[in-house]
Structure 1
Amino acid sequence: MRINQFISHNTSHSRREADELIKQGLVKINAKIAQFSDRVKQEDRVFIKDKRIHKKTQFSVIVYHKQKGELVSHKDDRGRKTIYENLPKKFSSWLSIGRLDFASEGLILLTDSALIASALMKSDLEREYYLKIKGHINKEVVEAMENGLEIKNEKKGAHSKSKISSMMIAPFLEYEIFGSSGGYTKLRVVINEGQNRELRRFFGHFDLKIMDLKRVAFGIVELDMLRAGKYRYLEKTEYEKLRDFLRINAIKF
């Protein structure tokens, strides 16, 4: 593990803050001043300002019900509200596991462990969403949901500043169309990827605009009756299943 990762994983410092501490010569690995390229081995001892950093043996995860009009970010140069402004200050250094865009709502996981955040973000755990779309789902859209979609040189549904113009979208694991009314269609979809604005880009390809997007589940964790703007810690059974996931995927904590 790189030295800045080790620090962010085992302390309240972010990687950027860890880099600044290393730059100032305040970090040591054993008796040697740490360099940016250093990696921490199992037997190494790490110090910040001569105070030893002990490896975490536990981690915590919370479920937050993100509201529309909140950013999953620590700050915004346009002054928009972030989830951290609504959460208690004790969570200010916690990491979000994936994101939901400004106009979306629903389940967000946050953790005090960089390792857990990285493992879950890169996983193929199922993500379940409820959508309201302007337009109708035709045969072409259904075939793409079932077989996958390749987007080339196109930014429909993407953020205006996105540089990504091509994307491979895997087949949906599940989908359920509830019906259409007043020019809108409601449906439920389950995917196991977390690409940036993936669903908005998928439906945007067919000139279908997502009006409402709500994530209701991530892996074994469900939003259930958690009210918008509120949070809860994982329950004991959820932690047990998360540890099973880590063990099965050979992720050592």
Structure 2
Amino acid sequence: MAHYFKIFKPYGMLSQFIYNQKQRKNKRLLGELGEFPEGTMSVGRLDEDSEGLLFLTTDGKFSYKITSTNVDKEYWVQVDGIISEKDVEKLSDGIEISIYGKPYQTLPCEVRLMSPPQNLPERAKRIRSEAHGPTSWISIVLNEGKYRQVRKMTAKIGFPTLRLIRYRIGDETIEGMDSEEIQNISF
């Protein structure tokens, strides 16, 4: 029987169960969040500096379906500076970024300005002091997922990402969840 979980991955945790790099061994791993059945894997990844919704499963076909098809993934992004509607349009239309040193044109996507989210858990590491200038929030919905894509997209138009939260995958969200919370789900 396959098992399915959704977790709110915290900032500073790797999206993996085993750390096989030789340096910096003190990394936090998914297994620290609880007991999972043998063969549990993460479905896609969130980098160490990102947080939010991550699926875990023992079902390889499910993992492939989520990562290899056009399943929407919504990210809430806090950026440095005041982003405008014109900038939102640039992101929506798709822009050229670099993936592993090669040019890549992102697909058109849904981007909108949003108010700062009110019900998010505090992040383990403070973003920065307000004395460093204003920030703004956008929602980006992608159905592709290239390496550090959202961060590269916002940086390309002059708005570095300060906080990145995956809010939704398909119909599942982190609404009402706390950082490090695990929920059993069914598909």
TM-score, with structure 2 as normaliser: 0.80
Give how far 1:140 is off: 5.0
Deviations 1:4-39 (A, max 9, x none): xxxxxxxxxxxxxxxxxxxxxxxxxxxxxxxxxxxx
What secondary structure is seen at the aligned counterpart in 2 of 1:166? strand
Give how far 1:175 is off: 1.9
Give how far 1:120 is off: 1.1
Contact 1:84/1:92 (8 A) holds in 2: no
Give how far 1:170 is off: 1.2
1:224 is aligned to 175
User: Within 2, Cα distance between the matches of 1:123 and 1:117?
Assistant: 10
Identity %: 21
What secondary structure is seen at the aligned counterpart in 2 of 1:142? helix
* Counterpart code for 1:185: S
Deviations 1:168-220 (A, max 9, x none): 211222423438x8421112222211111110010111232111111111001
What secondary structure is seen at the aligned counterpart in 2 of 1:202? helix
Contact 1:173/1:192 (8 A) holds in 2: no
What secondary structure is seen at the aligned counterpart in 1 of 2:63? helix
Written as runs of structure 1 = structure 2, the 5 A alignment for 1:140-179 is 140-151=86-97, 154=98, 163-178=100-115
User: Within 1, Cα distance between the matches of 2:105 and 2:144?
Assistant: 11
Select 1:125's aligned residue among 56, 71, 78. Answer: 71
Written as runs of structure 1 = structure 2, the 5 A alignment for 1:96-115 is 96-115=42-61
Task: Give 5+ residue unaligned stretches, structure 1.
Answer: 1-57, 156-162, 240-253
User: Within 1, Cα distance between the matches of 2:48 and 2:175?
Assistant: 21
1:207 is aligned to 158
Deviations 1:74-123 (A, max 9, x none): 233222111122231x3453111111111111000011011111111111
Contact 2:16/2:41 (8 A) holds in 1: no
* Largest Rg, 1 or 2: 1
User: Within 2, Cα distance between the matches of 1:107 and 1:92?
Assistant: 21
4+ long deviations beyond 4 Å? none
C-alpha root-mean-square deviation of aligned residues, in Å?
A: 2.1
What secondary structure is seen at the aligned counterpart in 2 of 1:72? coil
Give how far 1:229 is off: 0.8
1:198 is aligned to 149
Contact 1:175/1:190 (8 A) holds in 2: no
- C-alpha change, 1:227 and 1:92, in structure 2 (3 Å) is farther
User: Within 2, Cα distance between the matches of 1:75 and 1:164?
Assistant: 27
Select 1:85's aligned residue among 16, 21, 32. Answer: 32
User: Within 1, Cα distance between the matches of 2:50 and 2:161?
Assistant: 10
Select 1:183's aligned residue among 119, 122, 134. Answer: 134
Contact 2:81/2:159 (8 A) holds in 1: yes
2:12 is aligned with 1:69: yes
Aligned length, in residue pairs: 168
User: Within 2, Cα distance between the matches of 1:228 and 1:92?
Assistant: 23
- Structure 1, 168-177 or 63-72: larger mean CA deviation: 168-177
User: Within 2, Cα distance between the matches of 1:92 and 1:195?
Assistant: 28
TM-score, with structure 1 as normaliser: 0.61
User: Within 1, Cα distance between the matches of 2:37 and 2:173?
Assistant: 20
